[in-house]
Structure 1
Amino acid sequence: MKRNVKKLNKSTKEQKVVILDTDFLMHSIDNKLNFIEEIRNLIEGPIRICVVKSTLKELQKISRNKSWKYSRTARLVLDLLKAEKIEVLDDDFINEKSTDKKIAILAKKMSGIVATDDKEFRRKLLKEDIGVIFIRQKKKLILVG
């Protein structure tokens, strides 16, 4: 009996990791941007869309403490992450307080891309040779690096 075995080549084995930060998530929801679909269209091949644990903590804090608009947006983001089963990366082992630094360290370690709408963070990532996805004109994703 003949078996249909799919051979894995390098491009199908390697998944590109995309780590989403709080700014990117909040702005995506505010702009009604389907960022998951847009990221999949932007990057060829298999991808893993993730958030770090610290980003979830930031979103939970915003959902409880900020103005109504921000808390509502943060709750929508949390609901979407749960519904889409977005992978959560553990970052507790990284000895940094800053979520941005934790994201940068993980992205570098995993040869990943960071989705952020924070211009200063974007500059730092590009200096570290880490790819960046950001929102342009409130409706389009751009990949640089």
Structure 2
Amino acid sequence: MASDWIRGDKIHKTVILDSSAILMFFEVSVDWKKELDRLVGSYRLMVPTTVARELEILSTHRKDQKKAAAALKLIETFERIDDPASSADEALVNIALKTHGIVVTNDSELRKRLKNNGLSVIFLRGRKKLVLDE
């Protein structure tokens, strides 16, 4: 797999979502679709199955129940990708390495790990906009 794929005459980037990013879509008033368009151009969204499982678990906890349920509804339309990793972070790194994809996350430790592997990361800056760190 490659991070760029062609459909028709358009080149698409692979953007992989972490649970922190998906939940962020419901916490701040950033137009994440518009921001991804601005940063990446044409893209396809992927969600590792381990991330979907994290959201399913969160949807059973009182504190995050509504956001996690909304997040699960949102990701129904996104492409799912399997990885044998035991943790979501490990799966995100593995998938990003395989696809040369860009990971969207607000997890600072995961961001460091991705950058140490030479991978691109998108994160929220100042609750106002998304930033691409290549």
TM tier relative to shorter chain: 0.7 to 0.9
Aligned pairs (5 A) from 1:100-139: 100-139=89-128
The Cα of 1:13 is off from its aligned counterpart by: 5.8
Match of 2:43 among 44, 47, 59: 47
Q: Does the alignment pair 1:88 with 2:116?
A: no
Q: Aligned residue for 2:88?
A: 99
- Deviation beyond 6 Å, 4+ runs, structure 1: none
The Cα of 1:141 is off from its aligned counterpart by: 0.1
Q: Does the alignment pair 1:141 with 2:133?
A: no
Counterpart residue type for residue 128 of structure 1: N
Q: Aligned residue for 1:6?
A: none
Q: Does the alignment pair 1:75 with 2:81?
A: no
Aligned residue pairs total 127
Q: 1:41 to 1:113 in 2, by over 3 A?
A: same
Higher share in strand:
2
Q: Aligned residue for 1:61?
A: 57
Query: Cα deviation per residue 1:63-112 (whole Å; 9 max; x = unaligned)?
Result: 01x234x1111011111222xx1111122xx2x21110111011011011
TM-score (norm 1): 0.81
Higher share in helix:
1
Q: Pick the structure with greater CA Rg.
A: 1
Q: How much is the aligned-residue C-alpha RMSD, in angstroms?
A: 1.6
Query: Cα deviation per residue 1:6-26 (whole Å; 9 max; x = unaligned)?
Result: xxx8xx564210100001111
